[in-house]
Chain A
Amino acid sequence: MGELLVKDKEVVVPGEIIAEGMDYLPSFGTYRKEQRIIANRLGLLSIDGKVIRTIPLAGRYVPRRNDMIIGRVIDILMSGWRININSAYSAVLMLQEATFKYIEKGANLSKFFSLDDWVVAKIIRVSSQNLVDLTMKGPGLRKLDGGRIITVNTYKVPRIIGKQGSMVSMIKEVTGCRITVGQNGFVWIQGEPEQELLAVRAIKKIGAEAHRNGLTDDIKKFLDKNKVKTKGEKQ
C-alpha cells in the first residue's frame, strides 16, 4: 500500500520524497526512484487521482508539442521566420507551414510576416535538441494586428484560461475584448481602451492569486465591481 508523505497543494523542494510505494504515478516535476516518488522542481504539489505532479511557482516556458503559443518575429530566414516564443529557445516557422497561399520563388517574405509582427501559432515539433517548429495552418492561427501583448507567468496560464475556458470567456464577456492566451505566457488583448485596461487588471489579478480556491468567483466579483460602460454599447 502506497503512502503519501506530503499533502496536496503543499510546497515541495527538489529531492523531497513525496510518496512511497507503487500506487502513485510520477508526472511533471517528479520522478520515480525505486519505491519512491521524488520532486525535482520547486513548486506546489498537485495530486490528481493517482497522478502526482508539481506546479512550478515561476519559470520560463518550456516548449511542448501541440501548444498554441503567441510569438514575435525576430528574424527572416532563407525560407521561413524565426520567432521568439518567450522561451530559452526560439522557434522556426517554415515556409510550407506559414500559409496556404502559393509563394513564388524568391518572393519577399516580409510581405507575409515582417519583423516585430506577432503571430498565433502552434508547435508541431520539439526535437531532442530543443529545435522548435511552428505551424500557422489551423483554426485560430493567424497574424495579430493591433491590440496589446502582456506577459504572464507561463505556469499560471491554465488558471487564466480556466476550466473549458470559463475564466477567459468571462473576461471576454464582461469587457467585450478579444483575448488570445498563448501557452507560453504571452496574452493578446484588443478592445476599447477602458475595457482593455480592465481585462489586463483582471488577468494580472489571476496571475497573482492563482493558488487560491474559488478564484473564478473572486474574479467575477472584481469584474462586476469595476465594470465600465463603453459609449454606444447596449446594456
Chain B
Amino acid sequence: MNQDFKNHINKSLNKNIRMDGRKKDEFRKITIETGVISTAEGSARVKCGETELIVGVKMGVGNPYPDIPEEGVLMTGAELYPLSNPEFEGGPPRERAIETARVIDRGIRESGTIDTKKLCIKAGEQVWMVFLDVAPVNMDGNLIDIGCLAAMAALKNAKFPEFKDGKPDYKKLSKKSLPISKVPIEVTVAKIGDNFLVDLTDDEEKFVDARLTVAILEDGNLCAMQKGGDSPLSEDDVFKMIDLAIKKSKELRKLL
C-alpha cells in the first residue's frame, strides 16, 4: 500500500468527502431483484453501485448429521469468479472467499433465521438441506454486506420443491416457503485513519486499517461479528462502529 496516496485519501475523508463523492456513512444505490434464476428454488440479484452479485438457493434432501438427527442443514458457499474482479483467480477458494461465505453463514445461522428443526422430514433419515451460493458478477467492494442482503432476499424468495415418494420433484415448486423467523442484516464498518466508513468500493478497501462486520436483527440485537484488517480496535472504536452499523442496518432493512 502506498502511504502517500493513503494520506491524501485521509485528508479528503477528514472533510467527509470520499473518493467517489459520497459521505462517509452513505451507501451506494441498491437494487434488489428476486427470482432471477429459474433452475434454483430461490434467487436474488443485488446491485450496489458497480458491485453486482447473484445468490441462489438450492434445496436437496439428504441425511442429517448424526449428532443432530432432527435438524436440517444450511450450507453457504461463495466463489469469487475471476470475471468479477481482475484480482480474483481461479482454483480452490482462498481466504477471502471462505471469509465471505462464513461471515454470511454466521449471520444467518446464529440469528436462528431458519428454524432447522422444521426442515426435518424423518428424524435421523431424511432432512432438507439448504444450499446458499453467493456468486459475484462484478466486484466493486463490500461483498459481505451485499452478499448477506442478497442471501436474505433469495431465502425469502425460495419455495420448497414438491416432495413425493421420498424424492423432491424440482420441476414443480410448492407454495411452501422456508421457515424464516428473523432477518439479520450485516453491515461492515471500516476504519481508515480516524474515520469510519460504510459500503467501501474496491479502491477504498485497499486502504482499510481495520473493519468490523456486525449482523443486526430487527430489534437491534447483535447476533454475529467479524473483525478484519491489520490494526487493532479500541473499545471506544468498536462501540462507535456498532452504533453506525445499527443506524445503517435500518436503512438496508427497508429494501428487503
Question: Using a CB–CB distance below 8 Å, which chain A residues touch chain B?
Answer: 116-118, 144-149, 190, 193-194, 196-197, 201
Docked CA distance A119–B7 (Å): 17
Residues on A with beta carbons closer than 8 Å to the beta carbon of B7: 146
Docked complex: B1-41 residues within 8 A CB-CB of A: 1-2, 4-5, 7-9, 11-12, 15, 17, 19, 21
Knowing A197-B17, A197-B21 are in contact, say whether A148-B5 is a contact too (CB < 8 A): yes
A197, B12: Cα distance in complex, Å:
10
Complex CA–CA separation, A140 to B19 (angstroms): 26
Q: List 8 A-B contacts (CB under 8 A).
A: A117-B2, A146-B8, A147-B5, A148-B5, A149-B5, A193-B11, A194-B17, A196-B12
Extra contacts, 4 of them, besides A116-B1, A145-B4, A197-B17 (Cβ < 8 A), are A117-B2, A147-B4, A148-B9, A201-B21
Judging by beta carbons under 8 Å apart, are A193 and B4 in contact?
no
B2 touches A193 (CB 8 A): no
Beta-carbon contact of A147 and B21 below 8 Å: no
- Residues of A contacting B2 in the complex (Cβ-Cβ under 8 angstroms): 116-118
**Complex CA–CA separation, A193 to B17 (angstroms):** 7
In the complex, how many residue pairs between chain A and chain B have their CB atoms under 8 Å apart?
29
Q: How far is the CA of A147 from the CA of B19 in the complex (A)?
A: 11
Q: Complex Cα distance A148/B1, Å?
A: 13
CB B135 to nearest CB in A, in angstroms, measures: 25
From residue B23, how far is it (CB to closest CB) to chain A in Å? 12
Interface centre among B1, B2, B19, B21 (most CB of A within 10 A): B2
Chain A residues in 8 Å Cβ range of B5: 118, 146-149
Contacts of A196 in B (CB 8 A): 12
A148 B17 Cβ-Cβ under 8 A: no
Q: Given the complex of chains A and B, what is the CA–CA distance between A194 and B1 in angstroms?
A: 24
Which of B4, B17, B21 makes the CB contact (< 8 A) with A146? Answer: B4
User: Are B17 and A147 in touch, CB under 8 angstroms?
Assistant: no
Which chain B residue has the least Cβ–Cβ distance from A197? B21
Contacts of B9 in A (CB 8 A): 148
Cα A161 to Cα B11 in complex, Å, equals: 28
